[in-house]
Amino acid sequence: MKAFSLEGRAALVTGSSQGIGASIANGLAESGASIVRHGLQNDPSSDSYVACDLSSPSAPVALIEQAFVLQPALDILVCNAGSFFDTPFLEMTDDAWEKTVTLNLRATFFIAQAFARKRVTLGGGGSIVIVSSTNGFQAEADSVAYDTSKGGLVMMTRSLAVSLAPHGIRVNGIAPGLIRTPLTQAWMEPRAHDLLKHYESKILLGKVGRPQDCAGAVAFLCSDAASYITGEIITIDGGLTTSQIGRL
């Protein structure tokens, strides 16, 4: 089925050394795209990989430049890199806030800008997918900086869609709910041991998501099967946010 194929396309997936990003990269590759992966540490097993810390001010532009060296016709960007630095709100530090907005918002903004500038010089076209979170529209206690940054990514997705539509670049997002990744494992461990049970009881489909549950939506959004879709955020949460998460 040609409409869903990504043959001949090339994608950069930020934060793709593990978790959701790695599954997205695998899914795009399965649909036929060539992939440039990115992570914090070097990966000697891959020759199509860029290592950098996106919190550094010059890193977003440098990453895009290197990605276009590896794939000169790069036309898919998945902004997945992000993290969680929150502590209980009354104890939050300047540093934790800065780290959150620098990585989750600033880096995404300037990666998208550098990619779009490059695409425009190549005649336009292409697809961006931004990975936000159900925390972008459904609040959680003691997750204020993270929730704020993900809410920002929801609106960044819509606003970029409007700004880049004249250049034929579609911009969409996914909002994963609770997905089992190294990051969410680290988040759950120090917290109440029944946190996982609480969430599982709220997920209608009865299970925490797997990273690969996010891959299909991204591959779809990047493909011609989604050619009239822009500014959309597909929530992948097994129904978690369809009703209320509520108190633990």
Partner 1 sequence: MSSTPFHLQGRDIWVIGGAGYLGQEVVKQLAQLGATVLCADLGQKAAEAQLGTQVTPITLDATDIPALEKFVSTQIAARSVPQGLVIMTYASTAKRFDDLTSADFDMANHGNLTATFTLARAVGNAMTARGTGSMVLFSSMYGSVSTDPRIYETPMNPNPVEYGVGKAGIQQMTRYLAVHYGPSGVRCNAISPGPFPNPNLQRDQPDFMDRLAQKVPLGRIGQSPEIAGAVSFLLSDASSFITGQNLAVDGGWTVW
Which is the catalytic residue, given 49, 146, 199, 228? 146
Check if 199 is active-site. Answer: no
**Interface pick for partner 1 out of 12, 37, 170, 222 (rule CB under 8 A):** 170
Which two structure tokens, joined as six digits, stand for 1?
Answer: 């089925």
CB of 51 to partner 1, least distance (A): 29
Q: Token pair for residue 29?
A: 């590759």
- Residue 31 contacts partner 1 per CB under 8 A: yes
Cα–Cα distances (Å) from 70 to 25, 75, 218, 234, in that order, read 15, 12, 22, 29
64 versus 214: smaller Cβ distance to partner 1: 214
Helices (H), 17-139: 19-30, 59-70, 94-100, 108-121
* Burial state string for 173-200 with b = 16 or more CB within 10 A and e = fewer than 16: bbbbbbbbbebbeebbeeeeeeebeebb
- Residue type at position 108: T
CA dihedral 19, 28, 65, 128 (to 10 degrees): -90
Kindly state whether residue 95 participates in binding partner 1, applying the rule CB under 8 A.
no
Q: Rule CB under 8 A: is residue 236 a binding residue for partner 1?
A: yes
- 237: contact with partner 1 by CB under 8 A: yes
- Helix crossing, 108-121 with 59-70: angle to 10°? 40
Stretch that binds partner 1, among 121-129, 131-139, 185-193, 211-219 (CB under 8 A): 211-219
User: Per CB under 8 A, does 129 bind partner 1?
Assistant: no
Shortest distance in whole angstroms from residue 198 CB to partner 1: 16
In whole angstroms, the minimum distance from the beta carbon of 208 to partner 1 comes to 10
Which residues in this chain contact partner 1 in the complex, by CB under 8 A? 1, 3-4, 27, 30-31, 158, 161-162, 165-166, 170, 204-206, 209-210, 213-217, 219-220, 223-232, 234-239, 241-243
Active site residues: 146
